[in-house]
Structure formats: C-alpha cells, structure tokens
Chains A and B, each alone.
Chain A
Amino acid sequence: MEFSNAQEGLEQFNRRIAIAGGFVLICFTLLFARFVWLQVIQHDYYQTRAEDNRISLVPIVPNRGLIIDRHGEVMARNYSAYTLEIIPTQVANLEETIDGLAEFITIEAKDRKRFKKLLEESKRFDSLPIRTRLTDEEVARFIARRFRFPGVEIKARLFRQYPRGAFASHVLGYIGRITERDLGQIEEADVEANYRGTDHFGKTGLERHYEMELHGTSGFEQVEVDAGGRAIRTLARTAPVPGNNLTLTIDVKLQEVAERAFGERKGSLVAIEPATGGILAMVSMPNYDPNLFVDGITTADWRDLNESPEKPMVNRALNGAYPPGSTFKPFMALAALTTGKRRPEQLLADPGFFNFGGHMFMDDKKGGHGMVDMYKSIVESCNTYYYVLANDLGIDNIAKFMAHFGFGSRTGVDIEGESEGVLPSQAWKKKRFKKPEQQKWYAGETISVGIGQGYNAYTPIQLAQAMATLANDGVMYRPHLVNHIIDTKSAQKTYIEPQPLRTLPLKQEHIDVIKQAMVGVNQEGTGARAFKDAGYVSAGKTGTAQVYSLKGTKYNRDTVKQELRDHSLFIAYAPAEQPKIAVAVLVENGGFGSQAAAPIARQVFDYYLLGKLPPGAAPADEAAREADE
C-alpha cells in the first residue's frame, strides 16, 4: 500500500478531518443529551438529592416533664449542666484523645469505664459523654484547647434530678440512656422521629409508665450543613414542646415518714385513699438512689445494687408476693357471712387445735381461745375458727370470693411489671403443676389457706387495695399514682378520674361486722399496743406469715436465722368512721405483725391524719432542703 500521489493523500487527509469533525459533533451531542437528561428530565430528582445533602434536620430535645407530689413538691426535675462529649466516629484514637483530655480535665477511671460501656451499648454513635457536670473552669480549660480535639465538644444538656434521692425511688423509677431494648419499644410505639435526638428513656416506675407523656415533642432545626456535617446556618426552627408534668396522688412527706419508719428493715407499705384509689405512699425497702442512673450508672454501682442480697432494685410493693397470714382473716370472715356459712354470733369452741383426718392444725395460743364468735376470732386472731371455716367453705368458694377483692390479679396500678400473686384454687393447682399427683387439690391444703398460709401469695398493693375496698364499703377503685397530667403548653389538666372498678356484692351489715371487729383489733386486740392513745379510731388486722415450714419443730424467733424469720404484716384504715387512708404494711422477717408492721402503720396514720411526726424524725422540709444542695 502506498500513496504516490500527494494530491490523493491530501484529499484523504481532508476526508479524515471531516470525519473527525463529525465525530466531535456526535460526541458533543451525546454529552448534551446527557446534560438534558440530568438537568431537565431528572432535574427534580437531583434537586431533591442536593437539598437532602444540604439540609439536615437537627432535633431539639424537649424538656422532660416534672413529677410533682400531691402538694406541689417537685420529685423529679431537670437541671442544665455542661458535658464533655466525644463523637467516636470523628476521633481516630479514642484512648489517646481521652488521655489528652485527662491532662487538664479530671477524668476518673469510672468515667472511662462508663464511657466504654456507653460505647458498647449505644446504637447511635453520635455523641457520648466522657464527663458530665463540668465546672465553669473545666469548660474554660477545654475551650482554650478545643482545636487539639476534633470530634470532642462541650454540650449543655439537661439532666434529670431526683431531689429527695432514694425516697420514693420505687415510685419514680429512673431514666437511663436509651438501649436497644428501649429502641424496640420506641419503634413499637411508632415514635422514632420524636426520639431522634433523645438520649434518655424511662426505665422503671412512673418514669417508664408515663415515658410518652413526660418526653414531650421534639422540636427541630433545619440546618444547612456542609459535606463534613458542620452546620453552616439555621434555616428554620420549630420549638420543642416540653413534656407534660405529672401530679401524683403521693404525699412525698408521708412517703418519707413511711420509709424512715422502716429504718434498716426490708419490706413494703402501700397507703391508699379508699374513696379514690389514689396511692398516698408506696414504699419498698431497701430503696436506691435513682440519681445514680441518670448519667449512666457505673459498673460498680450497678453490681452493688443488683447483687445485693437485700434486692433493693425489686419493687416489693408490686413484685413481692407474700402469704397474707392472718390479715386474710377479715376477708375470710366476710366470705363466711356473704355465703351464709356463719352468723356473727355463732360460737365455736376452740380447744387449741383442729384435727383434720388425724393431722393436727395448731392454734397459736396453747389451750385455745375458748368460746369464739366472729368478733373474737378477728380481734384475737383465732386460727382454729378459720381452719374450720375454710374447711366448711371449700377452696373454690374461697377463691371465688377473694377474687372480688382483687386477690391474685393485677391491680392495674400505673407502673409496669406488677405481679399477679397466687390465689389458690383447684383450677390454679391444675395449671400450676405438671404431674397428675401434684395437680390434685387436697382438702387439707384448704385449711392453711384459711389463715392466709399455704399457697396464698399476694403483693402488698393487692392487700392494700383489698383493705381500701373494705374500708370503702365494697366500692373498689383502681390504685393509681398519678392524679392528673398537666399539659405544659396549654396548662390544661387531665385528671385520672377515679372510676370505681366495681362494687362488690356485699351486704353493708356484713361489712359493718368485719369493720367493727377490725376496730376491736386496734382497741383491745393484737393491734391495741401499737395504737394506744392514737387520738383517732382506727381499724386493723395483724398478720404473721411463715417463711419457714416448721414441720413439727417449734418456732423460736431467736434461734431461727434472720432470713427465715416470719414476715410481719398489718392492714389497717383510719379514721374508722370515715376512712381517709388504708394501708398494707409488710416487714420482711419482722416477726409478729403487732411488733413490726403495726407501729409503722401507726406512724403513717399519725402523720397523715394528725400531722404528727414520729419522735426523733427530722422534719421533712429540712431533709428536702439538704437534698437540694
């Protein structure tokens, strides 16, 4: 192949120049088509994507609602403090950064541990606190060195505070940092958007139950951000709506009197206003300091609380199920009257025992109480009377009657995780046990149920509710802790209207018999010593619940190990003529009801009805002031 002719070569060259020109035009047309596609046809899509790039919605966390007692004292509030926070994704070497910060800001080992724990737990790796509650000086020191620490920032955050510390801890519960489990609940409630900026979540108690009320509505800022996520300017802002405030039925000073009355002892107390079901005090001892949880509890504190044999984290009022012991007797007596099995004046000769098929059920009094009518059976707490009665009634009649009073079913109080307790019946036993020989109900088992022993197990709140219902002549209310919710924006109050759950099918004359006997208990019976010179007429019933099955050996308070000692119980209401307060008190391993539980009820009644503080107790106001500081 060869081009001898220069002219021919030139023509070929010019042809190829033309081809090249055509090629260029085709390529440019192609590009132009692409531009039309992107800029005209797909413009809206890319416009949106550019806006999404540019505009970031930054949530503004609302102030959490306050929790206030019935007299207006704040039990849970917020305060603002500076925190030193690290954004782990923006920090190359966390250890080095923290070491660097520690050079001029106190960072203790526990802070590091807590940070590590947060890092592991937290699903949202946005910003985690390494130190909370910085002093002004620490803030200044950090700001001077800020440039050295990209990904570290100072934030002003609101912290939850429980001014009275451990008092009422089981009522209030606590908040803690959101965990994955909480996220599940947030998703379930379909409120993810509202929780986008929120770090904390109610874990237990009222903080948990009323989480959605207390949280409020997040506001947000439309912020223009650059590619690094740095905010350039604010485009728009929607203010957050603070969470609603809760006003409780709880009287915080009464609560404190009750908790102090327990001292070092374990146990529970629930005080209810019979006419409304409003809970005046709900105690579970030992208590704990909910403030520990707010910034993320340290591993050591958590271990202490969880592994303590005293189980301070268990809310005994709702989750402790105890045999009611003799506090069951008034209800048994009422069952006997209602079913017509007994008349009040009907007498029983008590020889000190009840022989059932060769098994001896012993009375607590040697030789027996002699001739016993219903009044005496309650005032003196005669066991034999109830052994016989239980046998006459039969277990299923007992169960049917007791169910009316709420025994063995959740009260529906406004705190999560309440236990059901055990109301024994043939059906219950069948369900409870697997082996056929265990499923059978034995008539002998009914007899111990009659004195509140055996399979019986109820929570203190169930006992208190039953007591309140009896005091209220059979009109039953759902026990509740919140009186009303205050909408912080409109100041509108939403009352938790005390709707009667039901009116029990009881005859007033029967109720009066029982009430009279219970008044007798506090005047001349087992509660008389505790209520000596009370200045008001009260009604009550003591109880002692066996923890330990004696099996023939004699129970001796001094030789039995502390944790095997009997629980001491007391139910009561006052004033007798127009009940304003009903309580159930349980002192774990406290021995006789009259010794441990009844005096606590006395202190609570004295304060609530007379404003009288027990001798030696610090005035409630002063304690509150201490906690404030």
Chain B
Amino acid sequence: MIRELWAKFVAPIDGPLMVFLGLLILLALITMGSASPARLTTLLAHLAIALTVMRIVAQVPPQRLMYLALPIYVVGVLLLVGVALFGDISKGARRWLDLGFIRIQPSELMKIAMPMMLAWYFQKHESMLRLKDYAVATLILLIPVALIVRQPDLGTSILVLSSGFFVIFFAGLPWKVMFGLGAAAATAAPFAWTLLHDYQRQRILTLLDPEKDPLGKGFHIIQSTIAIGSGGLFGKGWGEGTQAQLDFLPERHTDFIFAVYSEEFGLIGNFILLVIYALLIGRGLLIAANAATLFSRLLAGALTLIFFTYAFVNMGMVSGILPVVGVPLPFVSYGGTALVTLCLGIGILMSIQKNRMLVQK
C-alpha cells in the first residue's frame, strides 16, 4: 500500500534530473550553512515549496501546459503593465506588484511564460514556418522584455530575452538571419548604451576596470575575485573563508554565494559544481531531443538553456568576466521566487520526459 503510494508519488519524477537537482540542493545547504546559517530554516521552507511545485507540475501533461501558454503569457504581460503603473519601488527599481494578499514579481513568471508562449506559437504554426512567424515571435518576446528593462531589471530581462531567443533558435531561425541580427545588434549597441540606466552603465564600466573604484562600485567584484582567488586549489574549508566570514563579500547569501562556495571549496569544488550543472543541462537537452511534440522540444530546450544562462552569467559575474547583473546562482542562491521558478522549470522538464515519444522513428 505504502509502496504503491510511493511509486505513484515518484512516478512523474525523472531520476537523473532529481539526482542532479538533489546534489545542487545539497551544495546549497552546505554553502548557506557557512554563508548565512540563520537563513537555513527559511531556505528549507523555500525548498519544500519549490519541490512541491516541481512535483505538481511534473504531473501536468505538456498538452495542458500548451493550453495554458497563451493565458499565462497574457496575464504576465498585463501584470508587467500593472507593475509599470502601480508597482512598489525598492532599491530604485519598480519590480514588485502588491495584489493585496501577496506581493509578486511578474518578471519572474515571464522566465517560464515566455518559452511556453513561443513554443506554443511555433507549435501552432508547425510545418509552415515562414520568416514572418519569426518576426511575430520576436515581437511576442520583445514586449515583456521591454517592460522588464524599464523597471529596471537587467538581470531578469537578459534571462527572459535569452529564454525567448532559445525557443526561436531551436525553432530553426536561419543562421543567415541570426548573424544578420547579430551584426545589426552590434551596430545598435552604441544607441542601446544611451538607453541604459546610469547604474547599469556603471556596472559595465566597473567590470572593465573594477580597481578604479575599489570602495565604490568596484567593491563587489574586487572582493569576490579575491575570495575566489584566495580559495586556491582546495579552498579554505567550510566556514573558514575569511572573505565570506568577515563580511568582505557583499550579498554573500544571494547573488555572490558562488564566491563563498569557491573560497571555501576551491578549484576542486568549482569543478564539481560545473560538472553537476553540465550533467543537469545535458539531461535537459537529452529530454528536449527525445520530446514528443515541437512544443515540448522547444520548451525543454529553452528551459534547459535558461539554467545554463543562470549558471554561466552568475559565475561569470562573480569571477569578474561578466558585468554584475542581478542573476542568482541557480538552485544555490537564497531567494524563494527564483527557486520556485527554477523548480517549476525542472518540473516541466520532468513532465516532458515522462510524455516523450516512446519509440523514436
């Protein structure tokens, strides 16, 4: 009886994904235990919610997700408009919407809603894709991105933009067009520069030469590279990172948690983390390749690459090769919303995996 229930409970769960996710959660708990032990309880609560969401979503068949794609997207865009009009301002940015009973960050929702919407769109137009469809897809993509950039939230807009782009890419956007757009983007970059907020420009400038302003805007990057570099091959040991423990690392439980991990576990630790991410992403790409429908394939591929984007951008910025944009280390950084979103993505991947084509060709 219990065994049956258990079997039923774990049935939608993909073993390999769950193992990789479990390893990441383990690292998250270990690192948080050093970076900010006081937050462990809340982290456990976040994990409980996120894993529940994942388990529920894993059971939802991709077809039903497809039906939900358009409504979720529309609601998401409306909420973003709502944020722009009535949102709460915190730390100079308007990101939150207070619905009376709950405060939500609609941009977060978009990270999932966007690939769903685009995958749905391409599924609808399957077998007769024209260039026009890519143009429409781009429009669908840019509306919410523009709203998020305006909040301003560079990190989330990059994630949403890339999530949408991944779908379009997997949908077969011709290379010619891609390179053409790339060239156009490069030309437009100087104009885009003028559109950026001051603090966003500063972040990019600081990246180029953090030492120029060691106590001001360069402080984060300098201190995190010192943390990583001083970690060495084997790290200083759990709870022994001086940069982390003596408060030299800013945001050490959120965006910069990688620096804490890296300082205490060294290059070996970094290698293990990279391998886990690579395995998780590999599994996701495999799920995409085996997915039953175009919608599933596109969604799975895009979601997987989102995990990659999170990981790469975060580790890149903390180690000083990318600008500081507010992107957390996936499944490790503290932050309930991001964790729920990410686990939601994992849940979708699991659902797609369970509903894959059983026989290929």
Contact = CB atoms under 8 A, between A and B. Distances in A.
A54 B229 contact: no
B312 A31 contact: yes
A13 B128 CA distance: 15
A99 to B, nearest CB: 30
A228 interface: yes
B242 A27 contact: no
A53 interface: yes
Given A38-B228, A47-B230, A27 B289 contact: no
A548 interface: no
A14 interface: yes
Interface string B205-234: 000000000000000000101111111110
Contacts of B270: 32, 35, 39
Given A27-B312, A35-B319, A39-B231, A54 B246 contact: yes
A28 interface: yes
Nearest to A39: B267
Interface string A475-504: 000000000000000000000000000000
A21 interface: yes
Interface string A1-18: 111101001001110110
Contacts of B308: 24, 27
Contacts of B230: 43, 46-47, 49-50
A353 to B, nearest CB: 83
B130 to A, nearest CB: 6
Interface stretch (B38-46, B102-110, B169-177, B341-349): B169-177
**Most chain B C-beta atoms within 10 Å of own C-beta, residue among A12, A46, A50, A232:** A50
A50 B242 contact: yes
Interface in B152-174: 166, 169-170, 172, 174
A227 B172 contact: no
A42 B319 contact: no
Nearest to B300: A17
A51 to B, nearest CB: 8
B228 A35 contact: yes
- Chain A interface, DSSP helix/strand/loop, else mixed: helix
Given A31-B316, A39-B228, A16 B169 contact: yes
Contact of B301 (A20, A46, A228): A20
B319 A34 contact: yes
Contacts of B80: none
Given A6-B127, A27-B312, A40 B267 contact: yes
Interface string A216-240: 0000000011111000100000000
A211 B282 CA distance: 73
B172 A35 contact: no
A406 to B, nearest CB: 58
Interface in B271-290: 271, 274, 277-278, 281-282, 285, 288-289
B278 A4 contact: no
Contacts of B248: 53-54, 226-227
A2 B128 contact: yes
Interface in B2-49: none
Interface in A43-88: 43, 45-47, 49-51, 53-54
A53 B274 contact: no
A228 B248 CA distance: 8
B232 A50 contact: no
A610 interface: no
B247 A3 contact: no
B297 interface: yes
B320 to A, nearest CB: 8
Nearest to B301: A17
Interface string B300-329: 010011001000100110011100000000
A91 interface: no
B262 interface: yes
A25 interface: yes
Contacts of B172: 3, 9, 12-13, 16
B195 interface: no
Contacts of B130: 1-2
Contacts of B281: 21, 24
A443 interface: no
B246 A224 contact: yes
A25 B267 contact: no
Nearest to A42: B229
Given A2-B128, A17-B301, A50-B230, A34 B321 contact: yes
A371 interface: no
Chain A residues touching B, range:
35 or more
B243 interface: yes
Contacts of B277: 28
Given A226-B247, A227-B246, A43 B232 contact: yes
B289 A50 contact: no
Contact of A17 (B128, B288, B320): B288
Contact of B315 (A31, A39, A40): A31
A28 B314 CA distance: 12
Given A9-B172, A28-B278, A46 B229 contact: yes
Nearest to A28: B274
A46 B316 CA distance: 18
A3 B131 CA distance: 11
B266 interface: yes
B243 A53 contact: yes
A94 to B, nearest CB: 21
A36 interface: yes
B185 to A, nearest CB: 18
B170 A16 contact: yes
A590 to B, nearest CB: 64
A432 to B, nearest CB: 57
Nearest to B313: A27
Contact of B242 (A12, A43, A53): A53
Interface in B245-262: 246-248, 262
B129 interface: yes
A4 B127 contact: yes
A40 B319 contact: no
Contacts of A28: 274, 277-278, 312
A49 B230 CA distance: 8
For B229, B231, B294, which residue has the most chain A Cβ atoms within 10 angstroms? B229
Contacts of B282: 21
A25 B281 CA distance: 10
A225 B126 CA distance: 63
A306 to B, nearest CB: 41
A16 B297 CA distance: 11
A232 B289 contact: no
Nearest to B172: A12
Given A35-B267, A38-B229, A49-B226, A3 B274 contact: no
A232 to B, nearest CB: 7
Contacts of B262: 35, 39
Contacts of B225: 38, 46
Residue with the greatest number of chain B CB neighbours at <10 A, chosen from A42, A43, A224: A43
Nearest to B131: A1
A9 B301 CA distance: 15
A39 B229 contact: yes
B300 to A, nearest CB: 9
Nearest to A4: B127
Interface in B50-74: none
A438 B208 CA distance: 71
A38 B228 CA distance: 7
Given A13-B170, A32-B271, A46 B289 contact: no
Given A20-B170, A31-B274, A34-B320, 13 more contacts: A2-B129, A4-B127, A13-B301, A17-B170, A17-B288, A21-B285, A39-B232, A40-B232, A43-B229, A50-B229, A53-B226, A53-B248, A224-B242
Instruction: Give the 10 A-B residue pairs with the shortest CB-CB distance, closest first.
Output: A46-B229, A50-B230, A227-B247, A38-B229, A226-B246, A39-B267, A46-B230, A54-B242, A226-B247, A227-B248
Interface of A: 1-4, 6, 9, 12-14, 16-17, 20-21, 24-25, 27-28, 30-32, 34-36, 38-40, 42-43, 45-47, 49-51, 53-54, 224-228, 232
